[in-house]
Amino acid sequence: MFGAALLFGLIGVPLLIWVGGNRVLGPYVHGQNLHAGAFALLQDFFLGLLHGSAVFWAVALGPAALLLLVRLFIALVRRWPPVGHDEPPGAPTRRVR
């Protein structure tokens, strides 16, 4: 699951950004090429990763980080004591007569 999130961050998210930008801002321009497509954006994206740009790495690792945060939240919720149990575990139970 983590590998799929990394793959989605490396390929899927940049392509979704390209689709959104293409629809809202117009075609992606790459140098003198006024009609560069998604592969030109992916090329620039991977070049940004190779140069170590924090913004590109945030996009690439975003889905994996989100997955880790969701897993952490689920683990914390499962460790939370159930509602209505005020006594610590292992304490003797009191009977009301």
Predicted TM-score (pTM) above 0.85: no
Strands 33-36 and 28-30: antiparallel
Domain ranges of the chain: 2-79
| pLDDT confidence of residue 85 | 57
The Cβ of residue 13 has, within 10 Å, a number of other Cβ atoms equal to 16
Mean pLDDT by 10 residues, the chain (97 residues): 93 95 87 80 94 96 96 92 65 64
| pLDDT confidence of residue 62 | 96
